[in-house]
Amino acid sequence: MTTAPGRSRTSPGDRPARRAARLGPARWIAYGVYVFFIAVLATQLYFFLQIGAWTVTNPGSTAFMRADAWTLAKTHPGIALQRTWVPYDQISRNLKRAIIASEDANFVNNNGYETDAILQAWEKNKSRGKIVAGGSTISQQLARNLFLSREKSYVRKAQELVITWMLEFWWTKERIFEVYLNSVEWGNGVYGAEAAAHYYYKTSAAKLTAGQSARLAVMLPRPKYFDDHRNSAYLTMRARVIARRMGAAELPE
């Protein structure tokens, strides 16, 4: 048998190889999507199981703490993180009321989200052309502190919402608030209510007054800034407003 000029002989065995070569990129893309999906699923499972374990144990550290420890080691090697865990009933009710009044007035009754606040933050971000607000509840703030970064993005926000659901699934409101009070950042390397009370007022978290608690609550959105600007007029003014609202704050019991 002769082969026509300009044509090469193709054996039947070559056809599957050519077909596989043509489908190669599509298969690699599908494989990449599959691996990505499995990685995302495994990450969610890790978060879910870790939060479940923390129903009976306390978090030793958070993502924010670990990031700060790394930064301090580079920039201020002589400064160590300050944090001392204290049980919920050893934290002043003044501080609890102040934080709820300042950060999440409906904390006890919401399911971890405030839809109106999220929508308002969305509109504000659109008008500014960048992410400047998140509309986060106490539960959402804790989700971010425990596992995520300070980066502002919609991907991170979506993950924050998923972790918030997990927190609300596993924990009571009191447990969420207890972990929050012991994990939230309050200054340069200062984490938790007990460390903050000693750092700013040379007292314990159990003995914080209403005025001290109101100032600490106002510091939460920008703790490092207010650590460096303790005489801020805004801090003083806003603390007075929060002090007047504290009486109406409902605590988880």
Of the candidates 38, 84, 123, the residue with the CA atom closest to the CA atom of residue 206: 84
Boundaries of domain holding 51: 47-74+90-248
- Per-residue model confidence (pLDDT) at position 245: 95
Report the domain count for the chain.
1
Check which CATH number belongs to the domain holding 163 and give it: 1.10.3810.10
Confidence of residue 29 (pLDDT cuts 50, 70, 90): confident
Alpha carbon 5 to chain centroid, angstroms: 69
Is 179 among the domain residues?
A: yes
Is 155 among the domain residues?
A: yes
Neighbour tally for 84: CB within 10 Å: 14
Is 3 among the domain residues?
A: no
Is 206 among the domain residues?
A: yes
Is 27 among the domain residues?
A: no
**Helix %, strand %, coil % for the chain, to 5?**
65, 0, 35
Are 101 and 248 in contact by the 8 Å Cβ rule? The answer is: yes
Are 142 and 103 in contact by the 8 Å Cβ rule? The answer is: no
Are 241 and 215 in contact by the 8 Å Cβ rule? The answer is: no
Tokens (6 digits) for 3: 């082969």
C-alpha distances in angstroms, 226 versus 38, 68, 78, 145, 238? 42, 17, 21, 19, 12
Is 23 among the domain residues?
A: no
Is 229 among the domain residues?
A: yes
- Per-residue model confidence (pLDDT) at position 127: 60
On the question of pLDDT at 4 being above 60, the answer is no
Is 132 among the domain residues?
A: yes
Confidence of residue 131 (pLDDT cuts 50, 70, 90): very low
Q: Which of 25-29, 43-47, 81-85, 216-220 has the lowest mean pLDDT?
A: 25-29
